[in-house]
Amino acid sequence: MTGSPELYKCDKCGKVIMVTSPGEGKLVCCDENMRLLEKQTADYKNEKHVPVVEKTAGGIKVTVGSTLHPMTGEHHIEWIAVLDGDMFMAKCLKPGDEPVAEFPTSNIDIYAYEYCNIHEFWTNKK
Q: How far is the CB of 44 from Fe ion (least distance, A)?
A: 11
Using the 8-state DSSP alphabet, how is residue 22 labeled?
-
Q: Which is nearer to Fe ion, 7 or 116 (CB)?
A: 116
Q: With 0-12 CB in 10 A as exposed, 13-18 as middle and 19+ as buried, what is 73?
A: exposed
Q: Which is nearer to Fe ion, 74 or 109 (CB)?
A: 74
Task: Report the alpha-carbon distance of residue 120 to residue 47 in Å, rounded.
Answer: 13
If one asks whether residue 80 binds Fe ion (CB under 5 A), the answer comes out as no
Q: Using the rule CB under 5 A, which residue among 82, 116, 123, 124 binds Fe ion?
A: 116
Q: How far is the CB of 77 from Fe ion (least distance, A)?
A: 7
Cis amide bond preceding 65, omega within 30: yes
Instruction: Tell me the C-alpha to C-alpha distance, in Å, between residue 88 and each of 34, 50, 60, 113, 120.
Output: 24, 18, 14, 11, 19
Q: Which is nearer to Fe ion, 65 or 84 (CB)?
A: 65
Q: Using the rule CB under 5 A, which residue among 37, 40, 119, 120 binds Fe ion?
A: 119
Which residues contact Fe ion (rule: CB under 5 A)?
116, 118-119
